[in-house]
Structure 1
Amino acid sequence: MTETSREHARLPRRQLSFDELGLPLHEVTFVVVDLETTGGRSGQDAVTEIGAVKVRGGEVLGEFSTLVAPGQPIPSAVVSITGITDAMVAEAPTLESVLPAFLEFSRGSVLVAHNATFDLGFLRAGCAQLGLVWPKPTSVCTVQLARRVLSREETPNHKLATLARVLRTRTEPVHRALDDARTTVDVLHSLLERVGPLGVHSLEELLGYLSDVSPQQRRKRHLADALPSAPGTYLFRGPNDEVLYVGTATDLRRRVRQYFTAGERRGRVKEMVALSDRVDHIECSHPLEAEVRELRLLGAHQPPYNRRSKFPQRAWWVILTDEAFPRLSIVRTPKPQAIGPFRGRRAAVEAVEALQSVTSLRRCTERIPAKEQRGRPCAVYDLGHCGAPCAGYQSVDEYAPQVISVHDVMTGRGDALLEHLRAELDQLSAAQRFEDAATHRDRLANLVRSLDRGQRLAALAAIPELVAARPDGLGGWNFAVVRHGRLAAAGTAQRGTPPMPVVDALQASAETVVPGDGPLLGAPADEIHVVYRWLTAGDTRMVRCVTPWSEPAGAAGRWRTWLDRVADARTPYPAAD
């Protein structure tokens, strides 16, 4: 393998984000690739050579070239075209070692190929065969571009050799990968020069020029013109001023422009764009504020074209009922001690089933008074899963230990029930009942995960006020004032600005938050989760905190190591420590 490395210091080392697809063409890094193969069927035939040229702004940044051992004979007809023989590839590296190197070489770039369906099809099939993740890069096909740019009078066909002659490229294709990639670079540059006068100056516009963009999308592109290039939240509004869709972006103008280009392929969103009359926006200090505002706007307007977070209060919780013989109940409005929040009722049901499997809490829904009862117990008693307080077989005091054990695991004071569940898991595995063990493991893992998430969020909600800061990447700071888990104020201190006066001003002007009921003290589950994620990022600093931020010693967070082992697919189930 040979690789000519002329990498530019400014070369981006990450995949293009959706917001970055509007880059001017002279700032876009293209990797022009060509493959030679044993035939034309990806998944059956094999690659024999890869050649690629990395370019930006007309400058060559690097080249990649290698023969590849195909693992199968090269047909004589292919040898006559490419000149690549079995002897030439006998000592060549395999695709298993070549493909990861090429993916790294092209990472963060737009892939270009002449007949991209062919070349990218082989690369995608190679990733599938080797268990590699196909990065789904943005791609441009020079055949498709040539068909749009060149008329029939200018070229009889769109073969690479014909285009090289028509466009008078500096190189000519010879059916070798690197040479053909170099020719394709010249073809690409010639075609891009021709689309410039047509108003195609950015990658976004190039993709729109190549693809099918509806007339409604094109006509409404001006709706993004007045938006700033700043973080914030945007609202698409319909003909009656109704909110159709709410979103958030780090660059409002660039993000909203995407809805009017070929990059937007979602049918529902295209329908929404066709109905929209204007786009409102709220400029925000930093992305956390934008994300929180988006959640609040979704809850307030419930726009029809958003699919998530439109009903922030529709979480499910598991509680102990308030009666002489408490039972587990699934509710919408939680008590101060509860397990949750759960997005779906099914997850709450599984948590209840897990707890009931290691306790003798009653499962009937009738209300049982504290005084002595007389009656016949149900089948659950016969199965040994209930002490039958309904028939007077258990007093309130005898029933209480079961309630205390569940209450302890809810509040994080103890994890005895979790240990019992794991002991049952060990017994199932020892008995080689692996299917039952897997079901039991998943149920325990979901319960632990729900307890851990809820206890962490509840610990944050209990703090009356804290101030945190995160570097903005430009030498300044992004600040957040959080009160009872809600974002009360957000601001920035740009590089060179004294940060503490900004903190003082934010605290003085922050929203008043009156704590409510439930484990999260009234904070919406989605919002407090977003705030928690921002606060616990590795580069976030605590500036002020009125009370210590801590979690109960017996909280489910102690089980995180066990959860990590559950996630390891190579282990049938995690054994006890």
Structure 2
Amino acid sequence: MTTDKPLSPRVGGAWGGLSVVISSVFPMSTTTLTRPSQRAPGSAALPRAIQGTLDDLGTPLNEVTFVVVDLETTGGSAHGDHITEFGAVKVRGGEVLGEFQSLVNPRVPIPPVISALTGITNAMVASAPRIESVLPSFLEFAGDAVLVAHNARFDISFLKAAAAATSTPWPGPTVLDTVLLARALVTRDEAPNHKLSSLARVFHSHVAPDHRALHDAQATVDVLHGLIARVGGLGVTTLEELATYSARVPPARRRKRYLADDLPSAPGVYQFKDGNGRVLYVGTSVDIRTRVRSYFTASEQRRRMSEMVRIAESVTPIVCATALEAQVRELRLIAEHKPPYNRRSRHPEKAVWIKLTVEPFPRLSIVKQVRGDATTYVGPFPSRAAAEDAMAAVHDAVPLRRCHQRLSVTRFTAACALAEMGRCGAPCTGAQTVDDYGALVRSAQEALVGDPSFVLSPLERRMQQLAGDERYEDAATLRDRLAALVRGLTRSQRLAPLATTAEIVAARRSPLGGWELICVRFGRLAGSTRSPRGADPMPYVEALSASAEVVAPAPAPAPAALPEECEKILRWLEEPGVRLVSVDGVWSCPVGGASRFGDHLAAVPPERFEGS
């Protein structure tokens, strides 16, 4: 489980570079003190130079013991899931002092999607020790070292939950998160994101992360060394400086606090603009002034936000009646201006749909918009790649044709490779009639707009079989397809009813007293207001309905708004305490729809599907 094996430091590596910085800084550090007890009577005070100690400067990084830890678990929540594997590496001064690795019997089945992701199966952990014995061994191995993890919130939350469940005292160690350091030190030009796999490539890790705990911990060690080498070159030489490095606020950014001085303390949207009036960033808050002020403090640690604040010359506020209105305005402004420092919602035009084509032998096709041609549409999907994964899942279960040409019912052609493999009924050759093929199409339609169990259930069984046969790559591919299809179907089945409802007026209690009121037409927020505390809300409801935006319906099932706007409205309507005042139309979702498959496939959060 544990190995303690001193290794030689890597010459010229991260710690070798750091030691040069330390040796060049420490001898020059002096402190000037005045000691009245040593003055001669009547003499002037004379400053005396005294060599500063290492204690005055903090704990040198080359003397700090780090334990880099990584966990594998049965899911993404520390409150309901369990640890399946520990991996840890103890390092000091660039030297590996020991390693710790152990599987853990979680006492619950490991979901197939997790086995496909990590390669850890139920059989592997059946004879493994339980957390009651592994956790104390790990804490003994860690001792009083500084714990390091990539996305430390995840790993530390599981360790604390395990300690509480086993009545093990939590030692409260110092924790260092390599994600936070990377955000401050690794630019977008170097890596597209700050996942462990991306950073491992940047810092040339000798171990590739693969969702096994010890391998990921070893890769994190190399990332930590690379990050420490970078901050060493910036003058960071102690643990205390390293822990607060990302909290530094440059003077130029602090000086721009005046931009928030005249902003209202009210809910709404704010826009950072440059000297030419170009929108740089759009955000939303329940208190515009307080939120904007935070951009000039240590609480703002995003590198791109520091760049944005440096360029910004003004902030424009838009006060909104309700928090939902603010969220919707934010989405619309981002879609309109495409601010360079907003990452999400900038390109709603990239959303696509899956369509059953209108022809004697329909096929699935990816399209950019709904045309109102009385056929089945599913979506919208956030990207073409997600739509392709979902379409591949349908094809895995229903042998619809995949060729792109329009087929004739009288003129036939040669069979394609899929037909020869038995994965298509070959209507192109006349082997399948319009009626026979139509039965397949009706099955696919029912799965897409109603109960998808006809498609999803056999694919789930197939995924479990592949995982059981240790064909993890094939299981992972099928898992991704299933996840894309479930998310797409769930979104479609939730959005379509709202998109076809002429008007919904709803209300909920406001935190400030009174009622928050919204009017939604064909999936678009047409109006929003708030009735005062103690006032009869009905006159405000009537005024809202009379003055709300006139919205024309889009071709069904598309909403008359951005899909993300529709999603935000739905989440608001589904919150506890919301009351429907009036509904003009039919707003319903299928009882046996795709949402009932979501809990199982969501055992791993979306970011875990994408890798660390």
Partner of residue 347 from structure 2, selected from 289, 311, 320: 311
Q: 1:563 to 1:136 in 2, by over 3 A?
A: farther
1:301 counterpart = 2:337: yes
Q: 1:131 to 1:361 in 2, by over 3 A?
A: same
Partner of 1:498: 536
Partner of 1:328: 364
Distance 1:353 1:368 in 2: 21
Partner of residue 415 from structure 2, selected from 368, 377, 380: 377
Residue 562 of structure 1, CA deviation = 4.5
1:390 counterpart = 2:438: no
Partner of 1:358: 397
1:367 counterpart = 2:406: yes
Give the letter aligned to residue 159 of structure 2: G
Root-mean-square deviation (CA), in Å?
3.9
Distance 1:138 1:439 in 2: 35
Residue 390 of structure 1, CA deviation = 2.0
| Residues 98-141 of structure 1 deviation map (CA, whole Å, 9 limit, x = unaligned) | xxxxxxxxxxxxxxxxxxxx9994699997496238999999xx
Q: 1:492 to 1:419 in 2, by over 3 A?
A: same
Distance 1:252 1:567 in 2: 31
Partner of 1:177: none
Partner of 2:314: 278
Q: 1:555 to 1:96 in 2, by over 3 A?
A: closer
Partner of 2:234: none
Partner of 2:284: 248
Partner of 1:526: 564
Partner of 2:593: 555
Residue 217 of structure 1, CA deviation = 1.7
Partner of 1:268: 304
Partner of 1:539: 577
1:452-467 to 2 correspondences below 5 Å: 452-467=490-505
Share of identical aligned residues, percent?
45
Q: 1:121 to 1:409 in 2, by over 3 A?
A: same
Residue 355 of structure 1, CA deviation = 0.8
Distance 1:544 1:119 in 2: 61
CA contact (8 A) 2:501 2:584 kept: yes
Distance 1:210 1:438 in 2: 36
1:483 counterpart = 2:521: yes
Q: 1:215 to 1:367 in 2, by over 3 A?
A: same
Distance 2:514 2:347 in 1: 35
Distance 2:415 2:350 in 1: 36
| Residues 341-372 of structure 1 deviation map (CA, whole Å, 9 limit, x = unaligned) | 211222111111111112221111122223x2
Partner of 1:221: 257
| Residues 403-422 of structure 1 deviation map (CA, whole Å, 9 limit, x = unaligned) | 11112222216642334434
Distance 1:476 1:533 in 2: 21
CA contact (8 A) 1:96 1:130 kept: no
CA contact (8 A) 1:327 1:362 kept: yes
1:206-217 to 2 correspondences below 5 Å: 212-217=248-253
What SS does the aligned partner of 1:374 have? coil
1:131 counterpart = 2:170: no
CA contact (8 A) 2:356 2:363 kept: yes
Unaligned runs of 5+ in 1: 1-38, 45-93, 98-117, 140-206, 569-577
Q: 1:137 to 1:41 in 2, by over 3 A?
A: closer
Residue 283 of structure 1, CA deviation = 0.1
Distance 1:440 1:137 in 2: 41
CA contact (8 A) 1:412 1:555 kept: yes
| Residues 441-492 of structure 1 deviation map (CA, whole Å, 9 limit, x = unaligned) | 4433431232112101111212111111122224322111111111111111
| Residues 180-210 of structure 1 deviation map (CA, whole Å, 9 limit, x = unaligned) | xxxxxxxxxxxxxxxxxxxxxxxxxxx9999
Q: 1:241 to 1:562 in 2, by over 3 A?
A: closer
Decide which moves more: 130-139 or 506-515.
130-139
Unaligned runs of 5+ in 2: 1-62, 69-132, 137-142, 162-169, 177-242, 607-612
Q: 1:237 to 1:564 in 2, by over 3 A?
A: closer
| Residues 267-301 of structure 1 deviation map (CA, whole Å, 9 limit, x = unaligned) | 22222222222111110112111000000101111
Partner of 1:179: none
Decide which moves more: 454-463 or 292-301.
454-463
Give the letter aligned to residue 353 of structure 1: A
Residue 266 of structure 1, CA deviation = 2.2
Greater RCO (Cα-Cα under 8 Å, separation 6 or more): 2
1:403 counterpart = 2:413: no
Q: TM-score, normalised by structure 2?
A: 0.58
Distance 1:416 1:294 in 2: 39
Partner of residue 291 from structure 1, selected from 324, 327, 330: 327
What SS does the aligned partner of 2:270 have? strand
Q: 1:449 to 1:233 in 2, by over 3 A?
A: same
Partner of 2:210: none
Q: 1:251 to 1:455 in 2, by over 3 A?
A: same
What SS does the aligned partner of 1:508 have? helix
1:77-226 to 2 correspondences below 5 Å: 121=146, 128=156, 131-132=159-160, 212-226=248-262
Distance 1:284 1:230 in 2: 8
Distance 2:469 2:566 in 1: 43
CA contact (8 A) 1:208 1:263 kept: no
Distance 2:309 2:550 in 1: 37
Partner of 1:108: none
Give the letter aligned to residue 265 of structure 1: Q
Partner of 2:194: none
Residue 221 of structure 1, CA deviation = 1.5
Q: 1:340 to 1:210 in 2, by over 3 A?
A: closer
What SS does the aligned partner of 1:473 have? coil
CA contact (8 A) 2:64 2:146 kept: no
Residue 225 of structure 1, CA deviation = 0.9
| Residues 375-403 of structure 1 deviation map (CA, whole Å, 9 limit, x = unaligned) | 32111111101122222322322221121
